[in-house]
Structure formats: C-alpha cells, structure tokens
C-alpha cells in the first residue's frame, strides 16, 4: 500500500519541479478559497502549511508531500460537499494530474486528505504515515488557541448554529455519521472537538505547541461562563 511506504522506497520528484508544483498549487488553493468565511479560508491553509513544514523538519517527514497535502487538505472539505469524505482527495488528484504529477505522489497526498480530519470523539484515527501525522497535527493546532476560537465562531455563524444553550449538553459522537449530522451549539463544539485535540496529537513537537493553545481555550471558556452568569 502506498500509504505505508517510506520516502526512500518512492520515486523522487526533482527539486525544481517540486517548487513549481508547490507554487502553482498555492495559487490554485488561494484562488479557490479566497472568499471562504467559515474559517477554512486561504489563511487557514497558509498557517497549516507553515506549521506542517516546521513540524516536518523536526520530525524528519518528506517536506514535499507534507507541503502539498497541507495546501490541498481543505480544497473540497466534506463539511461543504454534502458530507462526501472523498471529495477532497478526488479534487486534489484531479489538480495534481493536471500538473503532470506522478500517480504515487498523488496517492500519498490523497490518502492524507482522506484521513486528516477529525470525525468524532469515538472514531479511530486512520492516519498511517509520518507525513499524514504532521499535516493532521498542524491542522489540529490551528483549531486551538485564539485563532481556533475565532474559527469556531465563524463556522458556527456560517451554519446558523446557536452560540450557547445551557440546557443542551455536549455529545461525544461515537460514529462519523453521528458527528457530521450534529447541529449542536458552538460552545458545545469546544467539548466535542477542540478540547480533545491536545491529547490526540501525533508528534512531540506538536504536543509542545499545543500546551499553551489548549490552556488559552480553557481560559476563554471560563471567562465566557463568568460573563454569562454575571460573575464578572
């Protein structure tokens, strides 16, 4: 299976060609996602790419595969494509085919995109390569901290989610079907996803990044409840 191969077992794309592929992919993604208002915009992609490249260096992952997958990981997110989990992998392969990228590279990138997203508290993580772990960690780090909070409310507003209802309790979804059909409040999403991420990261470097971001989210929630209840 391609996803389990090490980089040394795979054909190497010349560096000059890699740079051109990355440049054109960046332009494609920037243009495709420039008008997004859900928190899955170009700047989210750029932050994830930058973090993923940094993590790849510290973890020894293939930087070309990591950068391509990071750039393309939300090119057709299932949340905006009728719940189709394969939409992103399909669109990424179509794009890379148009650039003349070899099938092995396409498959490695597509496999990461197919398995990168969070699919519910009780759903097993299917990432099986170091490159996939790095991209997933970078994506999850961008769901934490101040930016993660901002993105959560942007997403909730886009889908007309209630901000908070004290009578509606968070749900730890056991299946992807349950998770993707959820219409819970924005505050509940913190418990259903964001606060779970710190302990579900793959790499040592990402876990170190996550500590302060996770605490920021916890502090925000405490402030939110204090203000909600009129305690301060």
Return phi, psi of residue 91, to 5°.
-70, -35
Q: Are 132 and 115 in contact (CB under 8 A)?
A: yes
The region, left, alpha or beta by phi > 0 then psi within -120 to 50, assigned to residue 100 is left
Look at the block and give the residue holding tokens 């057709």. Answer: 76
pLDDT for residue 2 is more than 90: no
pLDDT for residue 1 is more than 60: no
Q: What is the mean pLDDT of residues 165-183?
A: 90
CATH of the domain at 33: 1.10.3210.50
Number of domains in the chain: 1
Distance CA 136, CA 130 (A): 10
Q: What is the mean pLDDT of residues 157-161?
A: 93
What does the pLDDT look like over 93-116, one tens digit per residue? 999 999 999 999 999 999 999 999
Positive or negative, the CA dihedral 98, 102, 107, 112 is negative
Print the domain residue range for 40.
2-228
Positive or negative, the CA dihedral 183, 44, 154, 76 is negative
pLDDT band at 11 (very low <50, low <70, confident <90, very high): low
Distance CA 17, CA 161 (A): 44
pTM recorded for the entire structure: 0.91
What does the pLDDT look like over 14-31, one tens digit per residue? 888 899 999 999 999 999
Q: What is the mean pLDDT of residues 47-68?
A: 97
pLDDT band at 208 (very low <50, low <70, confident <90, very high): very high
């Amino acid at each position: 299976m391609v996803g389990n191969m090490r980089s040394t077992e795979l054909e190497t794309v010349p560096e000059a060609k890699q740079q051109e592929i990355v440049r054109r992919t960046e332009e494609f993604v920037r243009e495709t996602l420039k008008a997004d208002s859900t928190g899955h915009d170009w700047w989210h992609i750029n932050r994830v790419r930058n973090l993923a490249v940094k993590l790849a260096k510290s973890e020894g992952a293939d930087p070309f595969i990591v950068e391509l997958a990071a750039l393309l990981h939300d090119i057709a997110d299932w949340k905006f494509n009728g719940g189709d989990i394969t939409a992103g992998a399909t669109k990424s392969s179509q794009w890379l085919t148009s650039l003349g990228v070899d099938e092995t590279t396409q498959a490695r990138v597509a496999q990461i995109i197919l398995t990168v997203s969070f699919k519910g508290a009780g759903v097993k993580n299917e990432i099986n390569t170091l490159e996939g772990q790095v991209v997933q960690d970078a994506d999850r780090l961008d769901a934490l901290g101040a930016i993660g909070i901002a993105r959560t409310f942007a997403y909730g507003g886009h889908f007309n989610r209630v901000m908070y209802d004290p009578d509606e309790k968070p749900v730890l979804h056991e299946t992807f079907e349950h998770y993707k059909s959820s219409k819970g409040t924005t505050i509940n999403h913190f418990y259903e996803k964001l606060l779970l991420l710190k302990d579900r990261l793959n790499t040592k470097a990402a876990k170190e990044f996550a500590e302060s971001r996770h605490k920021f989210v916890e502090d925000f929630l405490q402030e939110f409840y204090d203000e909600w209840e009129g305690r301060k």
